[in-house]
Structure 1
Amino acid sequence: MQKIVHITNDLQRLGGVQRLLVDLMTLQNSDFKFEVILTRGKNEYIDELKALGVEVFHKNDLGFLGVIKRLNAADLVHTHLYPSIYIAYFTNTPTIVTEHNPHYRRRDLPFIKSLESIIYKKFKKIICISEGVKTKFLESIKVSSSKAYVINNGVNLDRFS
């Protein structure tokens, strides 16, 4: 079974990125083995992920080299949010990125914009959650448009009555 490591900031219940990530792992749990590495915050989905057999690690516990070692042991790395793209740059594993927002203030700085244009060239695919996000991403970061795809951000409507 192929292993996918997701790397993101946190798994707090109020975040859309976080809910999307947990839903994705739930839907694909029989097809892949998952791990999650958190760069900052805490995991509020402990019970849900434990039931799925998903291990969650924190960058602070692993250290930078420990994170890279776990990423290199995966078949695919999937990054979400800053600073995970910077960390994933150092792995040898094929990496995809999901862009969740049309604009990040850090990219207003010319140096960061140039740096991220270099970093994103290394990644296999960039998934944008809407056409608007893709358009803004390609205006901001200079990468081949053939690397950017739209997968509309989905919500499991069955959870709502």
Structure 2
Amino acid sequence: MRVLQVIDSLPTGGGARFVVNLALALSQKNIETDVLLLDGAETSFYKELQTSFSGKIISLTTGKRWDIRNIFRIVPYLKTYDIVHVHIFPASYFVALANIFTRNASPIIFTEHNSQNRRAVHFLFRYIEKLVYAQFKKIVCLTPAVQKFVTDHLDTDPSKLVVIENGIDIQKIVATKAYDKKDFGFGASQKLILMSARFETQKDHETLIKALALLPERFCLIFAGEGSLLNYYKKMVENFQLTSRVTFLGNRTDIFKIMKMCDFNVLSSHFEGLSLSAIEGLAAGRPFIASNVAGLDFIKDAGVLFRKGDEKELASIIKTLAEDDILYKKTAEKCLERAYEYDIKYMIDKYVALYNDLT
């Protein structure tokens, strides 16, 4: 079986991490897998794939993922592989449009990564979305909530939808050795809070910044990630006079070591699909705290949920855990137990079964 994974590019983010994990795992199962990128910019994920991957990395352009000619560049590949598996907008549109121009194309699978999609609820774009989704043989939804959103807003044939939850290599994180706090200039008594997420509108860094302002001085915040709103949040930190307590690390390839160094892993967000970052946070063996929104509510009864946008509740949760060693340890243990339910081996088996059903 020959499988082609298609994504616009490999920036630091959940969708790109998903594709890298999937491609590597499929190759290890001796399934011939290649990755096609609309934009082959050499990001950290690109370099990781280049180093560890046995398949081909096909780059249509460098820095031109929106080039309309990508539609026609994709066409030949739709006949070359047994399965074409596409992820994320705009790659989904380019592949769908290429399919319209292709006779006898291979079956196309699309993984819907988010529980919300602004195009699907826009009065004009929803009709384009319906045309695009009609080109896919199967649509994989990361959670039942994602499945419901697609059904409700895009009138998709339910038989085309299948739920396959995200998964990660849990043992890789468990085996990772944490940095020492002093490696980053922190003292042993300081309590470190990490949020690893892109600085985009989907995420809610603001609530965590406001929560930090309510916590004692010994609590410090670390942000890992980049994005279009990075400078906006840097200015917010200055306005709250928290500059000495907030560290911006940018994109990191050593995020698991940082997760395990910190005392708390937090994901404050407006919505998710089924967040890889959340599963990684659970697996770090520290209390994981997240907004109570679709795509993060799966941590219930393991990690701790707070009301979206409620900085007072978030600060209270962090403070309570920090002051109760027994509760802290019990919560961390439950988080790790829940993480094992999302080991990548389960996800891969389900994708392989789906590929086999379509070939």
Q: Name the TM-score, length of structure 2 as normaliser.
A: 0.41
Q: Which residue of 2 is the match for residue 158 of structure 1?
A: 171
Q: Which residue of 2 is the match for residue 53 of structure 1?
A: 54
- Deviation beyond 6 Å, 4+ runs, structure 1: none
2:14 alignment partner, one of 13, 16, 20: 16
CA contact (8 A) 2:40 2:60 kept: no
CA distance in structure 2 between the aligned counterparts of 1:75 and 1:69, rounded to whole angstroms: 13
**Post-superposition offset of 1:151:** 0.5
CA contact (8 A) 1:86 1:119 kept: yes
What's the secondary structure of 1:113's corresponding residue? Answer: helix
Deviations, residues 53-96 of structure 1 (Å, cap 9, x unaligned):
22222232695322221232111110101112222222322100
What's the secondary structure of 1:71's corresponding residue? Answer: helix
Superposed, which structure 2 residues align to 1:102-121 within 5 Å?
A: 102-121=115-134
1:66 alignment partner, one of 61, 73, 83: 73
Determine whether 1:78 maps to 2:85.
yes
Q: Which residue of 1 is the match for residue 305 of structure 2?
A: none
CA contact (8 A) 1:6 1:35 kept: yes
Unaligned runs of 5+ in 1: none
**Which protein, 1 or 2, shows the higher relative CO under an 8 Å CA cutoff with sep ≥ 6?**
1
CA distance in structure 2 between the aligned counterparts of 1:121 and 1:70, rounded to whole angstroms: 19
Q: Which moved more, 1:151-160 or 1:34-43?
A: 34-43
CA distance in structure 1 between the aligned counterparts of 2:16 and 2:48, rounded to whole angstroms: 14
**Post-superposition offset of 1:108:** 2.9
**Post-superposition offset of 1:52:** 2.4
Point out the structure with max Rg over C-alpha.
2
Unaligned runs of 5+ in 2: 100-104, 175-359
Give the letter aligned to residue 3 of structure 1.
R
CA distance in structure 2 between the aligned counterparts of 1:111 and 1:156, rounded to whole angstroms: 40
Q: Which is strand-richer, 1 or 2?
A: 1
CA distance in structure 1 between the aligned counterparts of 2:162 and 2:149, rounded to whole angstroms: 13
CA distance in structure 1 between the aligned counterparts of 2:79 and 2:73, rounded to whole angstroms: 10
